[in-house]
Amino acid sequence: MSQQSTRKHVTNTELLAMKERGEKIVSLTAYDASFAHVLDNAGVDMILVGDSLGMVIQGQTSTIPVTIEEMAYHSKIVSRGIERALLVTDMPFMSYPDPHSAVENAAILMQQGHAEMVKLEGGQNVLDSVEHIVSQGIPICGHLGLLPQSVNQLGGYKVQGKEEAQANIIIEDAKCLEQAGASAIVVECIPSELARKITQAVSIPIIGIGAGVDCDGQVLVSYDMLDITFGKRPKFSKNFMLETGNISGAVSAYVNAVKNKTFPASEHSF
């Protein structure tokens, strides 16, 4: 029996306990069973089936074309490679336009995709959907800052919250998501100081991607940190393959770097 399989399965309440004791939460994306097994065995706490699969798996230019059926399929096969990590699955574009649709689609990801938590983008504009999903016993992870599903409205992939007014809105969004019952929040491409304020302002875990080292945890697209994404790698990512030369070693190096607070460094932050 592997060392990882002797450890208890991570739950949303365990993520909260990790925040409370100051232990960093490690997350990466996976889209199939084999990658999920490698991540799980290396000690990744939370595996995200991201709608980023639209770009890194399907070759799309954004996440917008991804469907609920595709998310459920990839979530299902990822679940087969996991023993310990918490499985979180993205709700794709237009799968939560209203509370009724949100619950129906969240249920698909739970029942067909075997997700243990679902993630959706937005703040105060999605609170009704968040509350309705949570009321049905489905854990929610929020997503603030850069919202890939809103990239056309945002005018591209740009750092969010640089101005005080926008920063204050993001902080308020985080507080509202917590009050609505969210179990965690991902914050993407925001200044490190804003991420630190959000992390201190709420009691639920804040998972950063391009948001500095002071978040409760970190998430990256696995293909970015393995340097196999075609195109430009984001500034906030790091090529962990350079240190080890193999996938399992790179994932272990990432886990250790997050746990030891050596990643992200200043060059990966805004």
Whether 14 is catalytic: no
- The active-site residue out of 188, 193, 243, 267 is 188
Inter-residue contact 174 to 198 (CB < 8 Å): yes
Look up residue 54 and give its DSSP letter: H
- Pick from 205, 174, 187: nearest CA to 10: 205
Alpha-helical (H) ranges within the chain are: 12-21, 33-42, 53-56, 68-79, 99-111, 127-135, 151-154, 164-180, 192-201, 222-225, 241-244, 247-259
d(CA 96, CA 92): 8
Half-sphere exposure of 93 (CA within 13 A, CB side): 16
Look up residue 190 and give its DSSP letter: -
Q: Which two tokens stand for residue 138?
A: 């489905």
- Could you give the residue numbers annotated as active site? 188
